[in-house]
A and B are shown apart, each in its own frame.
Chain A
Amino acid sequence: MVADRLPRAALWAPLVSVALGWPTGAGAQAPAAQRPADSTHGYEVLTKGLLGGPPLALQFRTARVRLVIRNLIMGPGSADSVPIPMRVVMELRGGALTARINGKTVEHFPGDFWVLEKGSAVSLQNRGDVVVIRAIYVLEGGP
């Protein structure tokens, strides 16, 4: 079930809360079962230019690993200083995206996967109308 005592969680809880859509503090106490995706108005601003949809959380039963999955969307334009509070697997679901990661520029196309390490310096530029990213945040628990 849920890691109701993630020892390091409190250190970066505010940042995680923004990236994962959790209420500060109470977020770490969220149940392991998925939250139903809000069908309307479920998006929030992660950083200027980037919105995050309702998160779905999954706690591994046999490992201290928790996944949080959410859609990220961008309208025309760019998003700088994208928060990467933990390792995250990204999949470009739709649109055309240019990512600048730790100073390196990569163009992504629908179907591309890539991994961002915690704390990476990331900016994203939407080359088209709408970008839809599937983001899987990986929370690895303490010992």
Chain B
Amino acid sequence: MRRSFPSGLALAVALSAGCIDRSWRAYGYDHRHFSRQPNEAILNASSAATLHVNWDFPIPAGGSFTASPSAYGNTIYIGGLNGVFYAVWASGPNQGTLRWRYPPAVAPSPGDACATTTSPMLVSGSGNPSGPGIASSAAIVDAVAGHGAVVVFGAPDPNSNGGDGRVWAVDAATGQCVWKSPVIAPASGTAKIGYSSPVVAHGRAYIGVSAKYPDSPITTGRLFAVDLATGALDPAFAFSAIGLAAGGGIWSSPAITPSGNVVVTTGNSCRHFQNGAASCASPGPIPSPDYTNSLLKLDWHSGSVLWQIQPVHIDWDWDPDWASPPVVGQVSCGSLAISVQKDGYVHAANIKTGGPFSNPACSYAGHTLDCPRWSFPMAPSLPFQQDGHGDTRFLRMGALDGDHLYITAGGLNLTEIAPTDISGNAPGRIVYNRVYSLNCCSSDVDRIRWILDLDGVAGAPSVANGVIYLGTSSGRLYAIADTDVLPSTSSVCSYPNVAGGVTCFNGGFRNVPVPVVIKQLTLNGSIPGIPAVSDGQVFVATTAGHLYGLAP
């Protein structure tokens, strides 16, 4: 602070600083999914170099986290795959200790509005870490139904048919259940609330459902709007990803556009099972409507589709679910919705229109498909009319800081199938450990700002003050300085496995800066989720069931 400030102004600044909200209230920070903490005052490129484990909260009796932590009111909120939701003190004398858990260790007496018991929130049947407990990250909402802040998340109801999926609202201070929504994923059906995390807007929480057991069978993706005041479903809002056949599961968390509409991504259809997988009730035909494998903008009130981007033609649907949630935001070249599909291509669309409607090369019969504004790697034309867009598992959302996007991507063009042996075993070289910084508003040839190769499959990044926080499957937490903060001191070829320098240049590729890694920490378990940055700490959850508070 400048010493020459008049004392009154200094006081005003100090007072306003005290009111700054440094919480991390939802998956991806807020309803836009920037995964950027704009109000971090302590962590920067200098202080992050001294990050260390400040505290460690392991799930008692063991468990696993695949949800991402949320931070509010000196408390970290996160649910575990063991079916228990935890509130953990973030700082102070009790930091790293349990504030409350839900369901509680002792059932409330008299009973509460949710008929709470002590049974964990589990549903049987789960083929990936989207269950059997809580994989949905929490959103914190101010002042609901006579309570102060409440925590909203999706989870199975242990007291309803063995785990009917509902949205829950729990008092942030006490852990008392405020309401639970009607069932949106019946345990007797094929769907559950998986990774989809509620996004809050218009007094509603929007949340999707995906397959209870991935692809077995495929379920119909649906998005629901839950009234935050009452927990009731909004009857005016309805979105179903597909017609008669199943498909389009919503593994992602919806985001809200600047004008208040909903952007969401959807999973695959049954089309690729046309040669006889039993998991699809009606394999083969092209569904109508077909909102599978798409980035969609929906009317916030009705759920009707405003635009759709489906980059992979359905005949080449070999399971390229679009599972990564979208990031929406206003950058210097407009408003974009950005997400990476499971095949590794990043698509950025004009939020208002989905893209230039006038380009017929971008559309195919039966669709209102429009070109995204850009794709990375650059795609000559869309939708793809080629095989190979399959289950290549690019699943993590990016982080957005101004025009700079941080994301793990690749795309088939960066996926060569290596001739590894003469028996046909060619696992290929799909690159999951390469995080990019992309310039959202540059030309295609200048899209890449920097590249960093990590030690394992990259999780989802977050960013604060030009420092990117990112975990990997091997349990490494990276703090990376953007090249705007610390200049790069080395480079790497834009194409994986090609040596930098002359070879790279002579292959027509670019030698790209490598950012400085200012700190690495090895934690216990994989880190698939988003590190939450709040008030001088980075909060990280791992599949080994540890919730960490990292501080300089």
Contact = CB atoms under 8 A, between A and B. Distances in A.
B497 A129 contact: no
Contacts, number: 105
B162 interface: no
Given A41-B497, A45-B506, A53-B416, A58 B422 contact: yes
A93 B388 CA distance: 9
B429 A39 contact: yes
A76 B510 CA distance: 9
Contacts of A129: 377-379, 413, 444
Nearest to A50: B507
Interface in A57-86: 58, 69-71, 73-77, 79
A79 B498 CA distance: 17
Nearest to B413: A130
Contact of A41 (B387, B414, B494, B499): B499
A32 B226 CA distance: 65
A39 B503 contact: no
B499 A95 contact: no
B283 to A, nearest CB: 23
A110 B388 contact: yes
Given A39-B429, A128-B378, A75 B416 contact: no
Contacts of B379: 128-129
Contacts of B508: 49, 74-77, 79, 126
Name, among A36, A54, A79, A128, the residue most crowded by chain B CB atoms within 10 Å (CB to CB).
Answer: A128
A127 B380 contact: yes
A118 interface: no
Interface in B495-538: 495, 497-499, 502-503, 506-510
B497 A75 contact: no
Interface string A109-132: 111000000000000001111111
B484 interface: no
Contacts of B418: 37, 39, 53-54, 71
A110 B385 CA distance: 9
Contact of B497 (A43, A49, A58): A43
Interface in B373-415: 377-380, 385-388, 412-415
B498 A43 contact: yes
B445 to A, nearest CB: 7
Contact of A71 (B386, B419, B494): B419
B421 A51 contact: no
Given A75-B510, A76-B508, A94-B388, A34 B421 contact: yes
15 contacts: A34-B421, A34-B422, A38-B497, A43-B498, A53-B497, A56-B419, A71-B416, A93-B416, A94-B386, A111-B387, A128-B378, A129-B379, A130-B377, A130-B414, A134-B417
Given A45-B506, A76-B445, 10 more contacts: A34-B419, A38-B497, A43-B498, A43-B499, A44-B503, A54-B418, A58-B422, A73-B495, A75-B510, A93-B417
